[in-house]
């Protein structure tokens, strides 16, 4: 009496297999605006794949958290579990707050809560969040910039601590005289290339 042999089934578990980890940018003009050329290009173009560049000049944490124009939802569609997302936000929130000459605690609260909301949404898709910490483009020579950047740095480090996410301080990267032009608040092309090199070296695979 012969036996019927069942077909051999190979069970391959693809669930835990991850394609190449990608680095993404989310945020404002510190992702892209070059102070000396005025071009929106910057470290996100020098270091990241085209589909991973989500930085938009002039945007705020509040706008990202509210998904204005679908910015965040569009970005999240390209972000996978295990990817790295570098977030550059808070600067424009505070700049708009001081536009009337009076940045109050309510405006600061909304800005910080908005940034935390953005971080939460990114973490919800399983990505690793890294906050970019701004540096003073005038290196302490402008009192208003010095105090404003100091506040932003304190708030960003606080969010990183509360949200248990990493951060990197651009003050440690933008050390050469040519990294800022002394006029614009954004790094120069040279400065952005320095950030791009750091990002690729530190977070690349």
Residue 4 has pLDDT above 80, yes or no: no
Q: Count Cβ atoms within 10 A of the Cβ of residue 89 and give its class: 0-12 exposed, 13-18 middle, 19 or more buried.
A: buried
Q: Residue 158's pLDDT is what? A: 98
Residue 14 has pLDDT above 90, yes or no: no
Q: What would the mean pLDDT of 15-35 be, rounded to a whole number?
A: 85
**CA of residue 93 relative to chain centroid, distance:** 15
For residue range 137-195, what is the model confidence (pLDDT) as tens digits?
Answer: 999 999 999 999 999 999 999 999 999 999 999 999 999 999 999 999 999 999 999 99
For residue range 112-142, what is the model confidence (pLDDT) as tens digits?
Answer: 999 999 999 999 999 999 999 999 999 999 9
Residue 34 has pLDDT above 70, yes or no: yes
Q: Residue 171's pLDDT is what? A: 98
Phi-psi region of 75 (alpha: psi -120 to 50; beta: other; left: phi over 0): alpha
pLDDT-above-70 percentage for the chain: 90
Higher pLDDT among residues 3 and 104, named by residue = 104
Distances (CA, A) of 96 to 90, 102, 126, 182: 10, 10, 32, 22
Q: Residue 19's pLDDT is what? A: 61
For residue range 37-50, what is the model confidence (pLDDT) as tens digits?
Answer: 999 999 999 999 99
Output the DSSP codes for 8-70: P------TT------EEEEESGGGTB-TTT--B-HHHHHHS-GGGEEE-TT--HHHHHTTGGG
Distance CA 100, CA 15 (A): 52
Q: CA dihedral in degrees (175, 176, 178, 183; nearest 10)?
A: 40
Q: How confident is the model at residue 99 (pLDDT cuts 50, 70, 90)?
A: confident
Q: Residue 106's pLDDT is what? A: 95
* Domains of the chain by start residue, with CATH: 23-203 (3.40.50.1110)
Q: Residue 13's pLDDT is what? A: 35
Q: Residue 98's pLDDT is what? A: 87
Q: Per DSSP, what are the bridge partners of residue 88?
A: 27
């Amino acid at each position: 009496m012969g036996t019927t042999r069942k077909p051999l089934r190979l069970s391959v578990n693809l669930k835990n297999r991850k394609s190449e980890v990608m680095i993404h940018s989310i945020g404002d003009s510190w992702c892209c605006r070059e102070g000396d050329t005025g071009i929106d290009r910057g470290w996100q173009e020098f270091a990241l794949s085209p589909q991973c560049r989500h930085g938009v000049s002039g945007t705020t944490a509040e706008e990202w958290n509210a998904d204005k124009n679908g910015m965040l939802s569009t970005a999240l569609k390209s972000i996978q579990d295990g990817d790295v997302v570098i977030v550059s936000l808070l600067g424009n929130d505070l700049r708009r707050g001081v536009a009337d000459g009076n940045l109050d605690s309510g405006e600061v609260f909304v800005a910080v809560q908005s940034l935390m909301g953005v971080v939460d949404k990114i973490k919800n898709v399983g990505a690793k969040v890294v906050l970019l910490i701004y540096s003073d483009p005038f290196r302490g020579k402008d009192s208003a910039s010095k105090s404003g950047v100091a506040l932003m740095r304190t708030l960003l480090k606080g969010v990183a601590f509360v949200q248990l996410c990493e951060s990197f301080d651009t003050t440690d990267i933008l050390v050469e005289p040519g990294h800022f032009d002394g006029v614009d608040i954004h790094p120069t092309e040279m400065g952005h290339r320095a950030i791009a090199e750091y990002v690729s070296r530190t977070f690349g695979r």
